Structures are given as C-alpha cells and as structure tokens.
Structure 1
Amino acid sequence: MAITIRALAQALDAQGWGDLDLPVTGASEPGATGPVGPKGGVIALAMSPKYAETLKPGSMAILAQGMDPQAFGLKAAIFAPRPRLLMAGLTRAFDPGPDIAPGIHPTAIIDPSAQVGEGAAIGPFVVIGADVRIGSGARIGPHVSIGRGSRLGDDALIHAGARIAHGVTAGHRLIVQPGAVIGGDGFSFVTPEESGIEEIRRTLGTREGIKQQHWTRIHSLGGVEIGDDVEIGANATIDRGTIRATRVGNGTKIDNLVMLGHNVVVGDDCLLCSQVGIAGSSKVGNRVVLAGKVGVSDNIEIGDDVIAGGASKIFTRVPAGRVILGNPAVKMETQMEIQKAMRRLPRFAQQVAKLQETVTRLLEKG
C-alpha cells in the first residue's frame, strides 16, 4: 500500500512540504529510515528535535510545527499541528486490519434464526447462536462465539477467540480484542446466615464467632449494554448484571485485563487502563480516566471527569473533576504531602530517639 505525501497530508489535515508526489509505503522511527528514491519509501516519525537528530539526509519525515526540514536535508515532510493526534490518523491510514476474508467461512456455525448484515465477514470456526443480530460490515474473527439473542451494530470488529455471551447488546463500531469475555456471570453469592464478610463490615473487623458457611449462587439475569465506538482490550472481562444490565457508554476505551463486575455502569468517553478492576454496582461518570491497576470498591460512585493515578484504591465516593492518587485514594496534592511526610519518618524517628535519651538523662540527674 502506498500513498503520496500530498494525499497523506490531506488525509491528516496537515501541511506538506517538498516533493509532494513521493509515495509513502509505511512509517518508522527516524533511525530505521533512509534516503528515498522516486518510488518513495518509509516516512520517519520525528515530531520532536530529540528524535529528529537521527534523521538521514534525503529521507522524508513527519515534523512538529516550527521545525525546519531543510536543516535535516529532507526531500519531503509533513508538519504535525498536534503530533499524537496526527499519529492516530497516520496509523489508521497504514493499518491493514485483521486477515478476515469476505463472506462466511464454511466452518462457521450459524443458527438459522440468526441474521447477519450485508457485507459482514465471518471467519473460521465462528459460532453464532439463536436470534443473534449482526450489523452490516461487521468482521468476526476465527473461534469467536456469540450467544443467544445478542446484538452487534454495524462495522463491529471482533478479533479471534473473543467470547460474547447471550443477551449482550452493542452499538456501532465495536472493537473487541482477542480473548475478551463479555457477558459472563457476575460473581455474586450469598450465605443463608450472616457471612463473615457481612459481619466484619458491620463490626469493622471484630469477629464475634467463626462459623461454617456455604455460598449459594445468585444467578445473573441481566445482560450487558455497550454504546457506540467502544473498544475492549485483550482478555478484558465484563460481567452481566444480576437484574439490570451492566452498561458501558459511548466512546469508552477499555484496556487489556480490565475487569468490570456485575451491574457496573461506566459513562461516555472513559479510559480504563490495564488491570483496572471495578467491583459490582459501582457507577463511573463520563470522561473518567482510571490509570493502570486502579481498584474501585463495590457500590462506589465516581463523578464526571475524575482522573485516578496508577494503583489508586478507591473506597469512597469521588466528586466530579477531582484528581486522586494513593491507597486509599485522596486528592493528588494530599497524597504528595503524605509521601513527603513518609520520606521524613526515619529522620523524625532518629530525632525522637535522641529527645528520649535527653529527657531520660535529665530525669536521672533530677
């Protein structure tokens, strides 16, 4: 696949410079590119002076606004007004996507009552259950299973080995990476009498008596509802609701190994990074960012536009717009003061020890 500098700049809504007819066949780091001939080649990503130092004369590159292509001896360049946003467009232009052949593979098993939209591609060994609806232009990779009554919108991309259980409803342009599981049963159990967990919540840790207990399953009757333009990472899991559905809003992006418990509600345009875990019945607002390994306790409400730093543990309600960090999570500025104070503790301990020695000597003399 090749595209000229001119066409690529237009597609990226950016400004081109130099030989605009040079073909671009891909992108790479500056150190891995070299001079290009009439047939073009790979364009270097050099959107800061640090990266541009390794550019070779005669090559072509994407530069930040204000950088001088002539100073690097380039044949052609594209100027990026917002580098990371331009990266999104560039990678989209050169991404061939998964190798899923058009049409329905002969090894796929599709229930007669299922409906597959126009232009959909169904890969090898896919299993599609009864009353499933798949929108037009969808691409379903090999070894995917889609359970009874589930609905996928137009242009869905479901990668190899993903599992979509029964009663899942998703909007348009859903992307599910390999191994993700959507709609598994919630982790919900109860004991005939008060459990040890209920006891320590009531007493704040005091055990009044340890007894045998037996866990009884609470079945998951709700489904999962997913909005438009949602992406779900590899080996992420989203449990179905107990009575009402677990919900994920429009535009939300979920990283690998994220866990959403039963009845969780996640708003629009959220970013949930790897190993985030959200316990049952918690509610996350719109545009919330949870960095890697953030944990959210059950029945917690997180307001809109909250940002939680990596490995934060959230046990209480978080107001809208707050930036939090730590375990337990507090305002970021508070957590920074806590960290400073902790670093001072060894020195404080030494000072206290010296004060104790001094007081002891004075008492002995007195």
Structure 2
Amino acid sequence: MQVTIQDLANALNARAWGDVSMQIDGAAEPGQAGPGQIALAMSPKYAEALKPGACAILAEGMDPKDYGLSAAIFAPRPRLVMAALTRSFDAGPDIAEGIHPSAVIDPSAEIGDGAAIAPFVQIGAGVRIGARARIASHVSIASGTVIGDDALILNGVRVLHRVRIGDRVVIQPGAIIGSDGFSFVTPEESGVEEIRRTLGKRETIRRQSWERIHSLGMVEIGDNVEIGANATIDRGTIRATRIGSGTKLDNLVHIGHNVVVGDDCLICGQVGIAGSSVIGDRVVLAGQCGVSDNITIGDDVIAGGAAKIFSRVAAGKVVLGNPAVDMPTRMEMDRATRRLPRLAATVAKLQKAVTEFVEKP
C-alpha cells in the first residue's frame, strides 16, 4: 500500500513539510530507510543517521533542513504517531476470506459474514464466530464458545469450551484460553493450610493426597483485548475468570482461576496472577510481577518489574520490590541496604574500641 506524505500526515493528524506528494509504502529506522520508506527519527540523536533526501517523522521543534530531508511529518506525541503509523502499514496475516477445505467445523457452528478460516482449524459444536473474524491455521475452538466481530486468532491458539471473547480481540500464537484452574484440596488440613494458620509452625507432618476441584466456570474477555503468545487464562471454578475491555496481556502471562482483571490494564511478560485476585482498572504490572491469591489491587496501581504483591494495594499506589511496598519506602529501604556494609564496618570498629576499653587494665 502506497500513500503520500500528506495523506499520511492527515491520517496521523500531524503537520507535514516539504515534498508532501512523495509516495511511501513502509517505515524504517533512520540509518536503514531507503526509497519509499519513512524514517522514525523523533529525537536529534536518532536523526543524525538520516540520509540526505530522506523523509522522516520528527518531533516538534526539530528542523528538517538540518538533516537535508525532502519531506517530514511532525509528531506532537511521537510514540502515539508511531502507533498510528505502524497500524497504517500492517496488513496483518494473509488469511483468505471464507473457509479453507481442510478446516473441520461442526454443522451447528455459526460463522459470521466475511470471516476467514485458515487451514486445519477445528471449530466445535455451537460455536459462534463474528463477522470479519480471522482464524489462523491450527487453531482449535471448543464447543459453546463465542468470538466477536473483527477478532484475530493467530496460529496454534487453543480456545476451550464456553469461552466468551469480545469484538476486535487479538490473540497471539500459542495462547490457551479456558484451561482448568489449578485448584486442589486434601481430605484433612493440608500442610499449606497449617502453616497459614500457625504462621509457619509445623505441628505434625503427615502424608497427604490431592483431590481436584473441577472448573465449572468460564472465561469472559471484553472488547479490544490483546493476549500475548503462550499466555494462559484459566477458567473459573464456579464464576467466570474475566479480562476487561482494552486490557493488554504480554507473552507468557498466566491468569489464574476466578481472577478479575479490569479495563485498560497493561500486564507485561511473565506476570503471574494467582486465583481469585481482583485487579482494578488501568493497572500496570511490569515484567515478572507476581500477585498472590485472594487479594485486591486498586485502580491505577503501577507495580515495577519483579514486584511481588502479597497483600492489598490501594488505588493509585506505585509499588516496587519483594515484598512490594510503595515506591518512596522501597527507595529508602534500598538506600539503607546499600549502607549496610558501611554500617557493619562502623559497628565492628565500635565493638573493637569498647572491647579494648573494657579490657584495659
């Protein structure tokens, strides 16, 4: 797809400069942009690599003449413009409209108008696929599941029975939606229950076996959700596991049974949320965060990378560390930790001085 600089600027709601009739069909980094490509050079340090005669997206305040450009688009908020630009040139996977002959589809399934079903897809009884949905190869969708309009389900995704997925949802390769929750019980009080009750004291150690608590609930996913590659979302035990509209899950995220995640959250790679926890709206959990079971995280919380959250977090808090505490407290704790070697040396000197004083005849 080719567009002019002016057309692209109009689509991005940005200001154009120079030869606005120049045709482009892709984007590249500043040092690699060739003919027909627009460079992303939204700070002076990146713009230094631009080639004379190139076209580029610049930040407001940068002068295209300084870099010998032929054309430029000015971005008031560069990363937002980058989102719109990359969307303009992303054609998405090539899945032909219609149903491929190798797909196995139960006769009771309903396929919406304009949907595209790729090779080796399996769709179970009572499934409903929305209009213009695209289902890539080797996807399996189990009985009773509903997938909304304009969804994109990529290669190798497994959607189990009675899952509800909204409109414009993107699921990256290998994700598994609706597997059984990790929920087990022992006939007698388990060792885990004992140490929770006694706060770590072991009274009796005995043999125990685990009985599965089956997952009868479902998974409900809102509109405009994105789920990363190899992410897993467990179904609820009785009530549904829920992912709110606009929420984005990164690769290798695990959502446990009965978890509720609010709207417009950002859950980064390798985050694990244990069963029955509730995550508010617009929460950001950075990479490798861990959330304990049965706790609540309020709206607009931000948790730094590898934070381990074991108790309730109030709305609007920024937390860091293991265990996670609010950011100012964690920074003071880290400063104190760095001072420990010096403090230990000082204590050793004082101890030596006191010992010498006591032992002096």
Relative to the length of structure 1, the TM-score reads 0.98
Q: Which residue of 2 aligns with 1:197?
A: 192
Q: Distance in 2 between matches of 1:287 and 1:115?
A: 34
2:163 aligns to what?
A: 168
Q: What corresponds to 1:352 in structure 2?
A: 347
Instruction: Please report how far the alpha carbon of residue 96 of structure 1 lies from its aligned counterpart in structure 2 after TM superposition.
Output: 1.6
Counterparts of 2:234 and 2:321 in 1: how far apart (Å)?
27
Query: Is 1:16 equivalent to 2:16 in the alignment?
Result: yes
Letter in 2 for 1:162: V
One-letter amino acid of the structure 2 residue matched with residue 166 of structure 1: H
Residue 302 (1) aligns with residue 294 (2): no
CA distance in 1, matches of 2:166, 2:49: 44
Which digits, 9 at most, give the CA deviation of each residue in 1:230-285, with x for residues without a partner? 00000000000000000000100000000000000000000000000000000000
- Answer yes or no: is 1:284 the counterpart of 2:279: yes
Residue 26 of structure 2 corresponds to: 26
For the pair 1:260 / 2:245, whether they are aligned, the reply is: no
Percent of aligned pairs with the same amino acid: 71
Q: Deviations over 1:269-311 (max 9, x none)?
A: 0000000000000000000000000000000100000000000
Distance 1:357 1:72 in 2: 66
How many Å separate the matches in 1 of 2:174 and 2:207? 37
Aligned to 1:63: 58
Aligned counterparts, 1:222-241, within 5 A: 222-241=217-236
Letter in 1 for 2:65: Q
Aligned to 2:356: 361
List aligned pairs for 1:1-366, cutoff 5 A: 1-34=1-34, 36=35, 41-365=36-360
Q: Deviations over 1:101-155 (max 9, x none)?
A: 1110000000000000000000010000000001000000000000110001100
Partner deviation per Cα, 1:175-234 (whole Å, 9 max, x = no partner)? 000000000000000000000000010111111111010100000000000110000000
Report the Cα distance in structure 2 between the residues aligned to 1:308 and 1:92, rounded to whole angstroms. Answer: 28
SS in 1 for 2:25: strand
Deviation of 1:33 (Å): 2.0
SS in 2 for 1:187: coil
Distance 1:77 1:13 in 2: 14
Amino acid at match of 1:27: A
Output the CA distance in 2 between the equivalents of 1:264 and 1:69: 50
Q: Give, as a single letter, the amino acid of the residue that structure 2 aligns with 1:218.
A: I
Q: Distance in 2 between matches of 1:346 and 1:33?
A: 51
TM-aligned CA deviation for residue 330 of structure 1 = 0.2
In the alignment, the residues of structure 1 paired with residue 304 and residue 54 of structure 2 have an alpha-carbon distance, to the nearest angstrom, of 40
SS in 2 for 1:57: coil
Once residues 130 and 200 of structure 1 are traced to their aligned partners in structure 2, the CA distance between those partners, rounded to angstroms, is: 46
Q: How far apart are the structure 1 equivalents of 2:10 and 2:33?
A: 23
Aligned to 1:182, the other structure's residue is in SS state strand
- TM-score relative to the length of structure 2: 0.99
SS at match of 1:161: coil
Aligned residues: 361
Secondary structure of residue in 2 paired with 1:292:
coil
- Give, as a single letter, the amino acid of the residue that structure 2 aligns with 1:195: S
Post-superposition offset of 1:55: 1.1
Counterpart Cα distance in 2 of 1:155 and 1:207: 55
CA positional deviation for 1:168: 0.4
| SS of 1:206 mapped into structure 2 | coil
Amino acid in structure 2 at the alignment position of 1:219? H
Q: Cα distance, 1:3 vs. partner?
A: 0.8
Query: Runs of at least 4 residues of structure 1 off by over 6 A?
Result: none
> Structure 1 residue 66: deviation in Å?
1.1
SS of equivalent residue, structure 2 residue 164: strand
Aligned letter for 1:260? I
Q: Kindly provide the amino acid, as one letter, of the partner of residue 9 in structure 1.
A: A
- For residues 364 and 69 of structure 1, what CA distance do their matches in structure 2 show? 79
Query: Which amino acid counterpart does residue 121 of structure 2 have in structure 1?
Result: V
> 2:222 corresponds to which letter in structure 1?
G
Whole-Å separation in 2 of the counterparts to 1:204 and 1:285:
29
